[in-house]
Structure 1
Amino acid sequence: MTGNVISGYAVMFNSETVIAGEFRERIAQGAFTRTLKDMPDVVAILSHDSGRVLGRVSAGTLTLREDRIGLWFSLDADPSTPEGQTAIGTVGRQDVKGCSFGFQVRAEDWQDGGNRLPLRTITDVDLYEITLTAFPAYESTSAALTRAEHNATAATERIRRRAEAAQRLRGIR
């Protein structure tokens, strides 16, 4: 593997967007804390298409981390697959530079918008997927390519992630 790493923010906290012209929405800091603690087998895909898998947590090819800014990801894209080639090419050229995510809301708060649309603040989610997309609902998201072909640190990190993922699958924490 050549170490084509795509990383960025699949979610930026407290960034507002309008959903279907009906309401404003934002994701609160900490909305992913519970789901990441349990670390479900989240996948990375292209344009919400489950047939175009790019990586997954259990395989050690997708890393997710919540920080004060948002939900950060690192994806080790495989250039030997058509999906990996597409992701590397389109993100590398910045034709695709945003993200989205597939989730189920566990907890939310609503505020009357007054003269504006109502505001939904999502405070807890079950996360299923992150996706690279040309048309993100949240324009503040990001995705960029880093080639780490000769970076021993990146290779070591990938090996560590795969070993940790294998341990999690066996119930070892």
Structure 2
Amino acid sequence: MNKKELRTIDITNFQTRDSTENGPVIITGYAAVFNSKTLIGDWFEEVISPGAFSKSISENGDIRALFNHNWDNVLGRTKNGTLRLEEDNRGLKFEVELPNTSLARDLAESMKRGDINQCSFGFFATGETWDYSAEPAVRTVTEVELYEISVVSIPAYEDTEVSLRSKEIDKSVEQRIKIINQIKGVLGNE
């Protein structure tokens, strides 16, 4: 029988984007980083393999983003598009559009101050290998059934990250893209 597990990760490069008049505050980061060992209790080390989340992301249509693994503190869901998940070469990347709630506003403020900058994820291991020749033993998780990611105050994995996205940076990028497109238009007409 598969056992429900939680992993918490340090996400010091967490990003948030301040809300605009028409848009929500957005946080982005990595809920898990591939090939990064972490000590689970004093019992074993654990590594998440690339591809461990891909099946779950494609098959589970309702993964949630929570605060501190609390199901009363839902920040977003894949089902309604407020949580977006993808695997890249680094790990499990996410983006959450925060709701306009006191919890989300408080979380964004704590993140701006740097008090909260870590992530975690809840899962059932559906594929794993063990190396008992190492001390402590090493568990390599090859596939999971992911049911939630969480922004947390204490991580298990130190390599995770989460941050607010700055609307000033987003505006700057938008302006640069407009300038590049204008230049392309001028060069294309010659």
Q: Which residue of 1 aligns with 2:126?
A: 106
Q: Which residue of 2 aligns with 1:90?
A: 110
* 4+ long deviations beyond 4 Å: none
Tell which structure's C-alpha radius of gyration is larger: 2
Amino acid at match of 2:72: G
Gaps (5+ residues) in structure 2?
1-21, 175-190
Gapped regions of structure 1 (runs ≥ 5): 155-173
* TM-score for the superposition, normalised by structure 2: 0.74
- Contact 1:53 1:83 (8 Å CA) reproduced: no
Separation in structure 1 between the aligned mates of residue 162 and residue 106 of structure 2, nearest angstrom: 14
Task: String of CA shifts for 1:90-133, please: whole Å, max 9, x gaps.
Answer: 2222211110001000000000143x200000000000000001
Aligned to 1:35: 56
Residues 114-155 of structure 1 show CA distances to partners (whole Å, capped at 9, x for unaligned) of 3x200000000000000001111001000000143885x99x
**2:121 aligned with 1:62:** no
- Distance in 2 separating the partners of 1:93 and 1:43: 25
The structural deviation recorded for 1:86 is 2.2
Say whether residues 1:127 and 2:146 are aligned partners.
yes
Per-residue deviation, 1:58: 1.1
Deviation at 1:53, TM superposition (A): 0.6
Say if 1:3 and 1:147, in contact at 8 Å, map to a contact too.
no
> Please, what TM-score do these two structures have when normalized by structure 1?
0.81
- Give 1:41-52 correspondences, 5 Å limit: 41-52=62-73
